Amino acid sequence: MRLHGVAFNALCRSSRMRGNPVDCVVKSPVALQLGDVVSDSVRPGVYITDVVLAEPLSIQEISFKNYYTAYLTVRVLKNEEGSDENSAKWFTCVRNYSLMSSPHTEGGSQDYFSIYRQQMLTEPDNVITVRLILRQPSSVWLNFSIEDIKIYSLADEESERDIPSWLSTITPAEEPLDLNGLPDPDTVSSSIQQMWALTEIMQSSQTSASIGRFDVDGCYDINLLSYT
């Protein structure tokens, strides 16, 4: 299977930032069909799939694998700020997003896609339910759907929630370190520089001439000689 070209690049950039998909329940698709479902043999051209989230959250990304769906519309049920759950309203985030280059050809029919909040018509915050409306006007394909649906919460919220505990113990940069009992850094630095300078002078003044073990000014000191 191949990845959709535009979605693949965006997916690679975001995969390093996103965490694990959130807990959700993907309900069975419901066919939207006119007439008697039992007696009407015409294949339905629209399916609706609801994804119920475990808790209200802000969505960063919705990813899925296509299966012969031509167009996708995404609606979200969300709580408006300062309101209760009973006043939740539906909003359209994505309208007729094209998943196939043509409804009658294979292009994009089994690609992976990712839709990000930057692409949405409204900010998907405090979302309770995601509704996916699938449309396939072509009669060429017997069935169509989307699979492997995953929803990721806003990256900033995940990063704040998942900060390792050891990071909280790091001394903030603005707090001065306790240097009581330690020598003055400037004095230590000056002494090291002087020692380095003396070492350079001593190394440059050394001669390559060899000195005998008992040779003092070209003569031998009798007291240094040993007898065997």
Q: Which fold has domain 5-35+51-167?
A: Jelly Rolls (2.60.120)
Q: How far apart are CA 79 and CA 98, in angstroms?
A: 28
Q: Where are the chain's structural domains?
A: 5-35+51-167
* Residue 48: per-residue pLDDT: 95
DSSP class of 80: P
Residues 6+ apart with CB under 8 A from 142: 43
**Model confidence over 19-43: pLDDT tens digits?**
789 999 999 999 986 555 554 456 6
* Residue 220: per-residue pLDDT: 56
What mean pLDDT do residues 60-78 have?
Answer: 96
pLDDT for residue 11 is more than 80:
no
Secondary structure of residue 95 in the 3-state scheme: strand
* Residue 49: per-residue pLDDT: 96
Q: What pTM does this model have?
A: 0.59
What mean pLDDT do residues 112-134 have?
Answer: 95
pLDDT for residue 9 is more than 50:
no
Residue 70's nearest CA partner among 29, 113, 109, 111 is: 109
pLDDT for residue 210 is more than 80:
no
Secondary structure of residue 179 in the 3-state scheme: coil
Q: How far apart are CA 207 and CA 156, in angstroms?
A: 67
* Residue 176: per-residue pLDDT: 57
Q: What percentage of the chain reaches a pLDDT higher than 70? A: 57
Is residue 167 within 8 A of residue 159, CB to CB? The reply is no
